[in-house]
Amino acid sequence: MQRSELPALHELTAMLDDREQQSLSPGAAKSARAFRRRPEKRLATDYRQPFAVDVDRILHSLAYSRYIDKTQVFYLIRNDHITHRMLHVQLVSRVARTIGRFLGLNEDLIEAIAIGHDIGHPPFGHDGERFLSNLCQAAGIGPYHHNVQSVQFLEKVERKGRGWNLCLQTLDGILCHDGEVHNRHLAPVQGKTFEDHQAELNEKKSGRPVDLVPMTLEGCVVRFSDTISYIGRDIEDAIRLGLIQRTDLPADCVQHLGDTNGTIVYTLVTDVIRTSYEQEAVAFSPEISGALQQLKQFNYKAIYSNPAIKQDTPKIESLFDHLFERFFNDIEAGNKQSPVYRNFIADMAQDYMSAHRPAEIVRDFIAGMTDQYFLNLSPERMRPQIRAW
């Protein structure tokens, strides 16, 4: 049998676009409709679709590589089985792609949003985010939000200030991913433009309460998947560390969701698929949504606010104060030997330098640090101890 001739690479892309039209749901984001702030001419040798390109760009970003040593919930703990951000975003991607496959959505877009959604998290989790936000507000540059910073890294900081020029649909999903907000039902706000995206960024930066909603069903799925991925996993980590026992879980939650991460994830994913199938929104059923909200409240009280994991929080806050002031003064003084110059500003594009005040540069530098790099730059006498747990 004679082997058929391989189509030209650009023809392969057109075939994939046609396949999406035939196989994806009517409400799915089609790759042919992806658009970037700066239009790019597709090379004849590039057969990747736009959202797949976004995945590759995020995977190869420096910020993505730093996920490996960024805290999810529990910091200053030496335990190889506790969740860190790299694992979390992989779990979100897997959960979201599973849901998206059954709903007929674009898995490339889902993956791009999922792996990029937490790139803006600073060291030491949500405590670090709060400390950095306080410093940013005191410096007059507005509050700090990790979802805004994720866009900042990918658009303004990566590639020495040139950014990755990602598709609007990807950036929108990252900005609007907020898994802390509890939604039972989420319908996309379609038809956004880059002007709308910038307006939403500005609104979030202002500090005024705002609930951003993704422009695609794919973004809505990632937002739900963020919660699905951390809620049970944080319980398993807390049990492993002896903070809670499995029998502490609320009985109503256990009845509806189960009492292990595996059963919780399976129950939530199944419910989203059943409730959202062939719908124009992503949703939980009322019963499952109520149980999930109750479980979130349990986690906040029993895990995230547990005094046992907050012993060194004042020391971390003092280190944020110290490093922010140190690097701000180094920039003001033009200290070229400072790490902020050698490891961040050096060779940065002039567009970035001219568009950012010293406090904003310090914000970007500290936000990008891993936990260990943050500690390495801190005075040894001020460093908390990392405990085996």
Q: What is the pLDDT of residues 312-321, one digit of tens each?
A: 999 999 999 9
Structure confidence at residue 187 (pLDDT): 97
In this predicted model, what pLDDT tens digit does every residue of 213-260 receive, in sequence order? 999 999 999 999 999 999 999 999 999 999 999 999 999 999 999 999
Does 327 score more than 90 pLDDT? yes
Short-list 98, 144, 93, CA closest to 117: 93
270-to-2, 102, 228 alpha-carbon distances in Å:
45, 10, 11
163-188: average pLDDT: 92
By percentage, how much of the chain surpasses pLDDT 90? 89
Structure confidence at residue 207 (pLDDT): 81
Indicate the pTM of the whole model.
0.95
Does 202 score more than 90 pLDDT? yes
120-136: average pLDDT: 97
Structure tokens at 384: 């908390």
In this prediction, residue 1 has a pLDDT band, given cuts at 50, 70 and 90, of very low
Query: Which ranges of 241-312 does DSSP label H, i.e. alpha helix?
Result: 251-257, 261-276, 286-299
H-helix or E-strand containing 185?
Answer: strand 185-186
369-381: average pLDDT: 97
- How many CB atoms within 10 Å of residue 162? 14
165-169: average pLDDT: 98
Q: Which domains does the chain have, with CATH numbers?
A: 47-309 (1.10.3210.10), 313-375 (no CATH)
How, if at all, do strands 185-186 and 77-78 pair?
A: unpaired
How open is the CA angle 76-78-81, to the nearest 5 degrees? 115
Give the C-alpha separation, 178 to 186, whole Å.
12
Single-letter residue type at 323: L
Give the C-alpha separation, 212 to 371, whole Å.
29
In this prediction, residue 13 has a pLDDT band, given cuts at 50, 70 and 90, of confident
- How many CB atoms within 10 Å of residue 195? 8
Least confident of 114-118, 123-127, 180-184, 284-288: 180-184
Does 344 score more than 70 pLDDT? yes
Structure tokens at 273: 């698929």
Q: In degrees rounded to 5, what are phi and psi of residue 61? A: -75, 155
In this predicted model, what pLDDT tens digit does every residue of 350-364 receive, in sequence order? 999 999 999 999 999
Burial call 308-322: b when 16+ CB within 10 Å, e when fewer: ebeebbeebbebbee
How, if at all, do strands 77-78 and 387-388 pair?
A: parallel
Structure confidence at residue 45 (pLDDT): 75
274-295: average pLDDT: 97
In this predicted model, what pLDDT tens digit does every residue of 132-160 receive, in sequence order? 999 999 999 999 999 999 999 999 999 99
For residue 84, the SS3 value is strand
* End-to-end C-alpha distance for the chain, whole angstroms: 63
Q: In degrees rounded to 5, what are phi and psi of residue 275? A: -75, -30
Give the C-alpha separation, 270 to 36, whole Å.
34
| Contact between residue 106 and residue 31 where contact means Cβ atoms under 8 Å apart | yes
* Residue written as token pair 């199944």: 270
Spell out the SS3 assignment of 216-261: CHHHHHHHHHHHHHHHHHHHHHHHHCCCCCHHHCCHHHHHHHCCCH
